[in-house]
Chains A and B, each alone.
Chain A
């Protein structure tokens, strides 16, 4: 950097406020004009943010249909937090990963993190399926939330498709998890609410995918 008045070279490690040759205050020199110039650039940069949020609001939460689409993306995540209930000769047992994670459920009274997993090796395949379904459902949610923020139609459409696929895959995996976990705990379990939950989510996902069609077209028109 050089002094803006006398042109003396200022070394990077010379942090003094004034130029050692002419005494110009380097911090204050042309301060107001510099602020104005920075403001012009900052206003332009802020437009990027404003456009992104405006587009998100327009595409994501403007009317009832777009809200339904957004809500349907959260359904797989909510479903994962619900207990899977099964009947075993009139006795009801339930499985809820959220409670088990914190030590309030039926399977890991001490909490998932503190449990001695050697005792629960028979549950491992089920919990791997759960982890995969949780990952897929989270990806589905973020795809739908992030997608509208992209200006480009193709990028938004790809995100939306990934989201829809992840939601369906997550739901199928979750169903496998519930069946696998319940039969591992008690082989005599014959019926499970997990199946009904699976059907409900599939219907929700169909709505979700149907919502995608008109909105992607509308989005294309906007672009």
Chain B
């Protein structure tokens, strides 16, 4: 039988065309809906604690710190477990269904904690409430890590056709961009009306209702996605060794460059632009005001991803979109200092800065689609490159994805506290209620525009050495397709041989 299979399939080996599509209509719809469901948040848990759960702030911070450390630790084994998973549904799909129900249960339990424990002032330092919050956050974090790796890995293997993969990612992101803000706007509107006593809903009722609706929708769409999507890239029958995953990262240049670039990018420290908008321009929603008129362009921008890809390589677009913000920030800074660094500087004037930042937003939104799709594609093609260069065609998505997250988290957790330190360094007065000195105002402006621009340049240099050119990419996918077919056949042969040997014995 194995011989028959081999003859039929090797004769027909070119029939599996890399340019063909493999995801049907249901798969496309399921992926888009799942992507939208993922981008809808159940709300800010810290705000929930202040409003409803009322666990002492220091205990809440302690719980978050412990979970933050656990987040780094669990990255070290999540990828390995996923890489060693072999089921009849594939390697990533099982985690979608296995995690869906526990995630829903833990998620709901977390928000319903305000009904389980007393929330009066006497119960603020309750150890039972602290333990409950800690366990819920701990389990949520673990499940989220598995789901996150499984989702990214699944997108990398949903189709063997890289062009279809880009098309899917672009359509999902485009539709998400239209829809995913709507629930947030509605939730914020209800929250505002609630705090202004225009509608009479308690905090507990508000948070638990939102969590229940979002959880039910999210779980339903996860299950629908699980039922309609398949893994279409072959994984090795033998479970890969842990060290092979790390060797694969360091042996393959594109993956090495990607990780180094992200590691250096994580050092990017900046002062929040919102501080500048509030303390200098006196308007917290100034950023939103400049973004709103340009928002339709961000949706349309997904339409010209293909046109841009025809003219430029993924490498060029990756560098351009990753560092475009830096260039825009530098230009905005140069306009801002017209009139000097004192009171007459443009950076102090709302309307002048609007006419500087609005065109900047237009440019940013023009490349929004490319920015949201191409870096993901660079990651997927780097994973495929590792498979291509591996003699046995082993894929280690799990280890690669978690190693990437681990390095970034290690740095960003360390640099996270630097923001407050930088602000105190130039004399920021936390108790001045918006009345900062002129020197502090200029420092805020300079550090929120120039500092991220300069820090971002750190990660640009490795990207120039990225070696998957369009020619290499074409050759890689063409060879991978043929090899995957043959590898599948060899695997079936080897397996059938093993079975017949066992039967003979």
Minimum CB–CB distance from A60 to chain B (whole Å) comes to 12
Cβ-closest 3 pairs across A and B: A45-B25, A26-B88, A102-B285
* B217 contacts the other chain (CB 8 A): no
Please give the residue numbers on chain A whose beta carbons come within 8 Å of chain B beta carbons, in ascending order.
10, 15-17, 22-29, 31-33, 35-36, 38-39, 41-43, 45-46, 48-49, 81, 98-99, 102-104, 111, 113-114, 116-117
- Of B71-79, B288-296, B399-407, the one contacting chain A is B288-296
Given A43-B21, A103-B285: A15 touches B87 (CB 8 Å cut-off)? yes
Question: B283 near A102 (CB under 8 angstroms)?
Answer: yes
Complex CA–CA separation, A32 to B89 (angstroms)? 16
Question: B22 near A113 (CB under 8 angstroms)?
Answer: no
* Inter-chain contact total with CB atoms closer than 8 Å: 97
CB-CB under 8 A from A16, the residues of chain B are 87-88
Complex CA–CA separation, A98 to B488 (angstroms)? 59
* B315 contacts the other chain (CB 8 A): no
- Of B118-126, B363-371, B411-419, B491-499, the one contacting chain A is B491-499
Question: B24 near A41 (CB under 8 angstroms)?
Answer: yes
Complex CA–CA separation, A33 to B489 (angstroms)? 11
Question: B288 near A102 (CB under 8 angstroms)?
Answer: yes
Minimum CB–CB distance from B400 to chain A (whole Å) comes to 21
- Chosen A-B contacts, 11 in total, with CB atoms closer than 8 Å, are A28-B492, A29-B492, A32-B9, A35-B160, A43-B20, A46-B21, A48-B25, A102-B289, A103-B283, A104-B350, A111-B285
Complex CA–CA separation, A22 to B23 (angstroms)? 30
Given A102-B289, A104-B350, A116-B196: A25 touches B21 (CB 8 Å cut-off)? no
CB-CB under 8 A from B90, the residues of chain A are 27
Minimum CB–CB distance from A46 to chain B (whole Å) comes to 5
Minimum CB–CB distance from A85 to chain B (whole Å) comes to 16
Complex CA–CA separation, A49 to B87 (angstroms)? 33
In the complex, the chain A residue whose C-beta lies closest to that of B354 is A104
Complex CA–CA separation, A169 to B238 (angstroms)? 67
The count of residues in chain B whose C-beta lies closer than 8 Å to any C-beta of chain A is 46
In the complex, the chain A residue whose C-beta lies closest to that of B90 is A27
* B429 contacts the other chain (CB 8 A): no
CB-CB under 8 A from B25, the residues of chain A are 45, 48
Apart from the given pairs A28-B492, A32-B9, 15 other A-B contacts in the complex at a CB distance below 8 Å: A15-B87, A15-B88, A15-B94, A27-B87, A27-B89, A32-B16, A36-B16, A39-B16, A42-B21, A45-B21, A48-B25, A98-B292, A102-B285, A113-B188, A117-B198
Complex CA–CA separation, A118 to B498 (angstroms)? 80
Question: B88 near A17 (CB under 8 angstroms)?
Answer: yes
Minimum CB–CB distance from A23 to chain B (whole Å) comes to 5
Q: Which listed residue (B20, B234, B495) contacts A23, Cβ 8 A?
A: B495
Question: A25 near B16 (CB under 8 angstroms)?
Answer: no
In the complex, the chain A residue whose C-beta lies closest to that of B188 is A113
Given A27-B87, A32-B9: A42 touches B283 (CB 8 Å cut-off)? no
Complex CA–CA separation, A22 to B1 (angstroms)? 14
Minimum CB–CB distance from A15 to chain B (whole Å) comes to 4
Minimum CB–CB distance from B131 to chain A (whole Å) comes to 32
* B273 contacts the other chain (CB 8 A): no
Question: B499 near A22 (CB under 8 angstroms)?
Answer: yes
Question: B292 near A32 (CB under 8 angstroms)?
Answer: no
Complex CA–CA separation, A103 to B146 (angstroms)? 42
In the complex, the chain A residue whose C-beta lies closest to that of B164 is A42
What is the 8 Å Cβ interface bit string for chain B, positions 330-354, against chain A (1 contact, 0 not)?
A: 0000000000000000000010000
CB-CB under 8 A from B17, the residues of chain A are 39
* B192 contacts the other chain (CB 8 A): yes
CB-CB under 8 A from A116, the residues of chain B are 196
Question: B492 near A36 (CB under 8 angstroms)?
Answer: no
Question: B491 near A35 (CB under 8 angstroms)?
Answer: no
Minimum CB–CB distance from A48 to chain B (whole Å) comes to 7
* B57 contacts the other chain (CB 8 A): no
CB-CB under 8 A from A117, the residues of chain B are 196, 198
Minimum CB–CB distance from B141 to chain A (whole Å) comes to 25
CB-CB under 8 A from A32, the residues of chain B are 9, 16, 485, 488-489
Given A15-B89, A35-B22: A113 touches B192 (CB 8 Å cut-off)? yes
What is the 8 Å Cβ interface bit string for chain B, positions 12-34, against chain A (1 contact, 0 not)?
A: 00011100111111011000000
Question: B20 near A39 (CB under 8 angstroms)?
Answer: yes
Complex CA–CA separation, A208 to B241 (angstroms)? 65
Complex CA–CA separation, A36 to B94 (angstroms)? 24
* B232 contacts the other chain (CB 8 A): yes
- In this complex, the member of B21, B22, B94, B289 whose beta carbon has the largest number of chain A beta carbons within 10 angstroms is B21
CB-CB under 8 A from A33, the residues of chain B are 9
Question: A31 near B234 (CB under 8 angstroms)?
Answer: yes
Complex CA–CA separation, A43 to B284 (angstroms)? 49
Which residues in window 37-94 of B have CB below 8 A to A? 86-90, 94
Given A15-B94, A25-B237, A98-B292: A45 touches B28 (CB 8 Å cut-off)? yes
Q: Which listed residue (B87, B234, B288, B292) contacts A28, Cβ 8 A?
A: B234
Minimum CB–CB distance from A114 to chain B (whole Å) comes to 8
CB-CB under 8 A from B160, the residues of chain A are 35
Complex CA–CA separation, A29 to B5 (angstroms)? 10
Which residues in window 459-500 of B have CB below 8 A to A? 485, 488-489, 491-492, 495, 498-499
Complex CA–CA separation, A39 to B16 (angstroms)? 9
Complex CA–CA separation, A10 to B28 (angstroms)? 28
Question: B237 near A104 (CB under 8 angstroms)?
Answer: no
CB-CB under 8 A from A103, the residues of chain B are 283-285
